[in-house]
């Protein structure tokens, strides 16, 4: 194979090669498609087919491309330095897709580093750490209808029920068939789509898609920001999965990690022998608790890397939304740090001004696309205006995970029912701030790991009580203002804590209680999609009315959800104690007929299946500060939802 370099031929440079304008925009932090220039790109040059490589390594004394094609020897293909940014480039004729490669970087101190390509589209399957040449531009998409429809989507007023999935542990093949047992992307597409559609979710949120070396990180310590993990197949397989989801009406959200990255030798850390992607001051550039590096948001090229990466997933893989991990760790300079481990901003405060600016820049771009793409903050503090528009001095996210609701909810649900009367406000407090942001109510993977117990085993009492408690909790969640997210396994009451090392315990569905739980969650999901009142006015008090928020001694909550048109409103009544209330009365706002559409006592949900009237006539009389009331025999841990 000839080692002809780019500079040896005075011919027209292919589209993918770096220009002066590319360098200028990258230096300014505004080259939103820099991934089309940096990285490895199959192309034709000087009449020969091959691959063009470009890498940003300004502190390097020299860079070579090494790989299978030269038996990983140090005599790889020398790259030409382009100033002023210190980008290195080379065209290697004869190289093909699938070839494994790394950059051999000679540092200023004379050391040699073997680095994976930060912009690689594909990576070797772990434990290998090489990059692979891939052309992701050839896939033919068939999701035009979905993408066009998404442009008209008003996220705040649409149904959004998310199934959070770790692909490697949702389902697995028997180990004798495959070393890991992972389903590949194409298998996942078909099985996961069928399950999600049957259950009634609108979206899946996929964990751990960007390439990462360690399974136990769940994908939150990324080394390949532009590469779908090879654990489950090729980039084309991933495109197939995205296309398949969309053709069947399912949206896809990916976890995205711009907060930190690992110190693995082949990754971004000290990439060219010096801090490049991370801040050089360890007080700004390292998370002491996590053992990871923090991106340097002060550097325009680093901000460009992250912004281009977010847009890459939206553009090249048609992703519908990004859930941004660990936002609080980016916003606060002192996050997870002791005195002396952090540096105040120029005003003496703990706010990370550069990270704030980064979010405003990124979210302005995503909102400005007007194509229905979402960006969701996993933000665990009371930072104001997370979902407020940037021009109104907000951060500009589409949604925020409601971590406050989740913590209060779980603390309440863990209590013995006897003590719930003294903690009633844990279930009502979230409505006092529900309109301050666009929220998603979450019961995510973080709540069922690290000895926190599975959802069902957080519940008090004997096993029947646990199931009844959890159904009551889910009913309250689906009635409450805010979009919804459930982690896989929560829907059928997985008994074990989740582990990335094994598939979910699907065999539990052979047992009546677990099947009843899955049926109940399925009914909630389909009810949620059917009734606009459950999602259309999530950010307004026009969509929610407490009937009785103060019935602490009986631990019963009753409320109404409204749509804009006020048609097909729903009344929720949820009893959080094992006490039956055969003569229960609930106040209602209208003298109407109230149709029972969800009854937790139904046989299909594991209840006793007692016969109850389907329609209840409102009677005149003061009750719960309403002029009318409905009488209904409310069972132990009883749940009743009425349409009117």
| Mean pLDDT per 10-residue segment, the chain (644 residues) | 44 83 97 98 94 98 96 95 97 95 97 98 97 96 97 94 98 79 96 98 98 96 98 98 98 98 97 97 94 97 98 98 97 95 96 97 96 96 96 97 97 97 97 96 96 96 97 98 98 97 97 98 98 96 96 97 94 97 95 96 92 93 95 96 97
Q: Is 498 a member of any domain?
A: no
186 shares its domain with 122: no
Q: Which of 401, 426, 460 is the last residue of a domain?
A: 401
In this predicted structure, what is the pLDDT of residue 4? 45
Per the annotation, the verdict on 215 as an active-site residue is no
184 shares its domain with 304: yes
123 shares its domain with 166: no
In this predicted structure, what is the pLDDT of residue 3? 44
Q: In what order do the strands lie in the sheet with 626-631?
A: 585-588, 626-631, 619-623
pTM: 0.95
41 shares its domain with 99: yes
121 shares its domain with 249: no
Query: Which residue is catalytic, options 378, 379, 437, 447?
Result: 378
Give the residue from 252, 251, 245, 250 showing the smallest Cα distance to 190: 245
Q: Please give the DSSP secondary-structure letter assigned to residue 14.
A: P
Report the run of H or E that residue 514 belongs to, with start and end: helix 512-530
In this predicted structure, what is the pLDDT of residue 15? 83
User: How far, in Å, CA of 175 to CA of 189, rounded?
Assistant: 21
Residue 598 DSSP SS3: strand
Q: Is 584 a member of any domain?
A: yes
89 shares its domain with 214: no
In this predicted structure, what is the pLDDT of residue 6? 44
Q: Is 445 a member of any domain?
A: no
Please report how the helices 403-414 and 463-479 are oriented relative to each other, as an axis angle in degrees rounded to 10: 150
In this predicted structure, what is the pLDDT of residue 177? 58
Q: Which of 383, 401, 419 is the last residue of a domain?
A: 401
CA dihedral over 171, 175, 181, 187, signed as positive or negative: negative
Query: Which residue is catalytic, options 164, 237, 325, 536?
Result: 325
In this predicted structure, what is the pLDDT of residue 10? 44
In this predicted structure, what is the pLDDT of residue 176? 57
Domain count, the chain: 3
Per the annotation, the verdict on 512 as an active-site residue is no
Domain housing 627 = 541-643
Q: Is 74 a member of any domain?
A: yes
User: How far, in Å, CA of 143 to CA of 189, rounded?
Assistant: 14
Q: Which of 365, 385, 401 is the last residue of a domain?
A: 401
- Pull the structure tokens for residue 365: 């771009």
Q: Across-strand partners of 484?
A: 161, 441
């Amino acid at each position: 194979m000839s080692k002809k370099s780019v500079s040896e031929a005075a011919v027209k440079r292919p589209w993918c090669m770096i220009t002066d304008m590319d360098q200028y925009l990258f230096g300014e932090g505004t080259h939103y498609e820099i991934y089309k220039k940096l990285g490895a790109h199959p192309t034709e040059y000087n009449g020969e087919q091959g691959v063009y490589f470009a890498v940003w390594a300004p502190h390097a004394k020299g860079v070579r491309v090494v790989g299978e094609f030269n038996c990983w020897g140090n005599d790889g293909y020398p790259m030409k330095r382009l100033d002023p940014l210190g980008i290195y480039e080379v065209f290697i004729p004869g190289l093909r897709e699938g070839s494994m490669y790394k950059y051999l970087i000679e540092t200023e101190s004379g050391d040699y580093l073997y680095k994976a390509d930060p912009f690689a589209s594909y990576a070797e399957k772990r434990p290998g750490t090489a990059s692979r040449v891939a052309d992701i531009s050839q896939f033919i998409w068939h999701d035009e209808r979905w993408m066009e429809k998404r442009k008209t989507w008003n996220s705040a007023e649409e149904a959004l029920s998310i199934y959070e999935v770790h692909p490697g542990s949702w389902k697995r093949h028997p180990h004798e068939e495959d070393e890991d047992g992972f389903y590949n992307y194409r298998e996942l597409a078909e099985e996961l789509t069928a399950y999600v559609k049957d259950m009634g979710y609108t979206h899946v949120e996929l964990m751990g898609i960007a390439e990462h070396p360690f399974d136990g990180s769940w994908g939150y310590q990324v080394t390949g920001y532009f590469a779908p993990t090879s654990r489950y197949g090729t980039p084309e397989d991933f495109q197939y999965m995205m296309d398949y989801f969309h053709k069947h009406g399912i949206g896809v959200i990916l976890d995205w990690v711009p907060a930190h990255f690992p110190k693995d030798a082949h990754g971004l850390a000290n990439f060219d022998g010096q801090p490049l992607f991370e801040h050089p001051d360890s007080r700004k550039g390292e998370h002491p608790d996590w053992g990871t590096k923090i991106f340097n948001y002060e550097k325009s090229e680093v901000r460009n890397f992250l912004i281009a990466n977010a847009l890459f997933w939206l553009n090249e893989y048609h992703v519908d939304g990004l859930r941004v991990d660990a936002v609080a760790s980016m916003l606060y300079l002192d996050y997870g740090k002791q005195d002396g481990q952090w540096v105040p901003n120029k005003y003496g405060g703990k706010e990370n001004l550069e990270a704030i600016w980064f979010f405003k820049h990124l979210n302005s771009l995503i909102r400005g696309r007007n194509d229905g793409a979402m960006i969701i903050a996993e933000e665990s503090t009371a930072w104001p205006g997370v979902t407020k528009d940037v021009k109104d001095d907000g951060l500009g996210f589409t949604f925020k995970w409601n971590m406050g609701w989740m913590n209060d909810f779980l603390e309440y649900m863990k209590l013995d029912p006897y003590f719930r009367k003294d903690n009633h406000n844990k279930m009502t407090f979230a409505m006092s701030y529900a309109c301050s942001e666009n929220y998603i109510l979450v019961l995510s993977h973080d709540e069922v790991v690290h000895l926190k117990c599975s959802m069902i085993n957080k519940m008090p009492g004997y096993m029947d009580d646990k199931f009844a408690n959890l159904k009551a909790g889910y009913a309250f969640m689906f009635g409450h203002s805010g979009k919804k997210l459930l982690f896989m396994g929560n829907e059928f009451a997985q008994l074990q804590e989740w582990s990335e090392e094994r598939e979910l315990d699907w065999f539990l569905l052979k047992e009546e209680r677990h099947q009843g739980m899955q049926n109940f969650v399925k009914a909630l999901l389909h009810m949620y999609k059917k009734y606009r009142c459950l999602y259309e006015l999530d950010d307004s008090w026009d969509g929610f009315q407490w009937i009785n928020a103060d019935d602490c001694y009986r631990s019963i909550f009753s409320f109404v959800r409204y749509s804009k048109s006020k048609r097909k409103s729903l009344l929720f009544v949820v009893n959080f104690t094992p006490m039956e209330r055969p003569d229960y009365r609930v106040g209602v706002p209208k003298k109407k007929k109230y149709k029972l559409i969800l009854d937790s006592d139904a046989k299909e949900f594991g209840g006793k299946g007692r016969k109850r009237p389907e329609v209840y006539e409102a009677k005149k009389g003061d009750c719960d500060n309403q002029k009318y009331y409905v009488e209904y025999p409310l069972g132990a841990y009883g749940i009743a939802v009425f349409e009117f």
